[in-house]
């Protein structure tokens, strides 16, 4: 799997070529459509490219990137990340975070128990769900105010309230 260069953030993952003129389908990894708008620049395979056209449809964005002018060139980019320097990201309001800031945070219960690290984020209809993994287990933590008590990106820490049923009981020996 391709790695995102240090100091950069993935804003999309390229899917299949679309059409014959070099356009690609992209799975967006950002909520703000402006980040993948016409005229913005992104880096793909260490090459800076300008977005020449951008069309959103059913959760995907169809992009035409500068220098990618045929289906073969577009197909060669499949599964690559579109990245931008972290310094180009717009600041978020207090209490909101980019996904890359949450991945890797250590998760502890309000009682101090270390539960694991955030390894992925699922987007659901109601709220996001953080996948927290440790050597022993995986738990799904709803990203709601009654569960998430504190996020401290600087300290690399997320504190959660243990609600009933959130943390599976260890299997009983028989």
Taking only the tens place, the pLDDT of each residue in 116-127 is 999 988 877 788
Q: Work out the pLDDT band at 154, boundaries 50, 70, 90.
A: confident
Compute the distance between CA of residue 133 and CA of residue 139 in angstroms, rounded to an integer.
Answer: 7
Residue 49 has pLDDT above 90, yes or no: yes
Residue 151: both structure tokens together: 């996020």
Q: Whole-angstrom Cα distance, residue 42 to residue 52?
A: 11
Rounded distance between C-alpha atoms, residue 129 and residue 140, angstroms: 6
Domains of the chain: 8-88 (2.40.30.60), 99-160 (2.30.30.240)
pTM above 0.75, yes or no: no
In this predicted structure, the answer to whether residue 12 has a pLDDT above a threshold of 60 is yes
């Amino acid at each position: 799997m391709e790695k995102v260069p240090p100091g950069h953030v993935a804003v999309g993952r390229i899917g299949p070529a679309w059409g014959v003129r070099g356009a690609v389908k992209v799975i967006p990894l950002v909520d703000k459509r402006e980040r993948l708008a016409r005229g913005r620049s992104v880096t793909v395979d260490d090459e800076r490219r300008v977005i020449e056209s951008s069309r959103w449809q059913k959760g995907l964005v169809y992009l035409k990137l500068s220098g990618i002018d045929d289906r073969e060139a577009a197909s060669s980019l499949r599964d690559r990340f579109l990245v931008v320097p972290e310094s180009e990201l717009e600041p978020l309001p207090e209490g909101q975070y980019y996904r890359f800031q949450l991945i890797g945070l250590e998760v502890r219960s309000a009682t101090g128990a270390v539960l694991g690290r955030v390894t992925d984020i699922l987007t659901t209809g109601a709220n996001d769900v953080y996948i927290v993994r440790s050597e022993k287990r995986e738990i799904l933590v709803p990203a709601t105010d009654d569960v998430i008590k504190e996020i401290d990106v600087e300290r690399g820490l997320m504190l959660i309230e243990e609600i009933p049923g959130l943390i599976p009981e260890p299997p009983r020996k028989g």
